Amino acid sequence: MLRAGAEVLKVHATGGVLSPTDHPEFTQSSQAELEVIVQEGKFRRGIKVMAHAQGSEGIKNAVRAGIHSIEHGIYLDDECLELMVKNGTFLVPTLLAPVAVTEIPNMPEWGIKKAYEVIEIHRDSIARAHKAGVKIAMGTDAGVMPHGTNLRELGLMLDCGFTPMEALIATTKTAAECMGWQDRVGTLETGKYADVVITRTNPVENIRSLENRDNISFVMKGGQVVKDIRKQ
């Protein structure tokens, strides 16, 4: 992967909801194995290593190994949270992913069953992570759900105790920091890319209004306008 030019490495530290022969709590990689991957990626090449990690044992293996961010974090226990705060590990909750599994036609029955099993556990874990001060960046596992529906994640974050502004910061500033792009994106500042979104509604008053794409009235990417329906 590094020889092919990968800018980020993602490993599977545990099983998953849509893994056909295992469970999210199953541990896939030992701490020693993960340490080798971090050594090759982070320390030899300067490449961030992120981990799909849903079960608590696998999460702890990943954090202790120096993994940069935990994707999903469904079964977070108190020790996981303590380790993540101590190590400055990012958490990308992807709350929408298991919800979407229950909604999309033709999902396998075993996947739907596991999704229903974890939704409330996942919500509770992210709520406790938020309260504990874990660095949380918004992400959705887009591709599990239809592209363009990812802002549903923001409302789910509110269900975990986030304020609307905290959810917006997680989506912009903290997400940029997680990717190591804070010098380019994440906030509106001189010298950064001109990435600007204008909405018809006030997301601080009604963040779920952003689930309607028609409320995203203007999008500028790198100074180029790619959407403008303000006069419609």
Q: Which of the residues 48, 60, 114, 141 is marked catalytic?
A: 141
143/137 Cα distance (integer angstroms): 18
Is 10 among the residues known to form the active site? yes
Is 42 among the residues known to form the active site? no
Q: Which of the residues 10, 135, 173, 227 is marked catalytic?
A: 10
| Alpha helices, DSSP H, located in the chain | 31-38, 44-45, 56-65, 78-87, 96-101, 109-132, 152-158, 164-171, 173-179
| Cα 176 off chain centre by | 12
167/19 Cα distance (integer angstroms): 29
Which of these, 182, 98, 97, 203, lies nearest to 135 by C-alpha position?
A: 182
Which positions are catalytic?
Answer: 10, 141
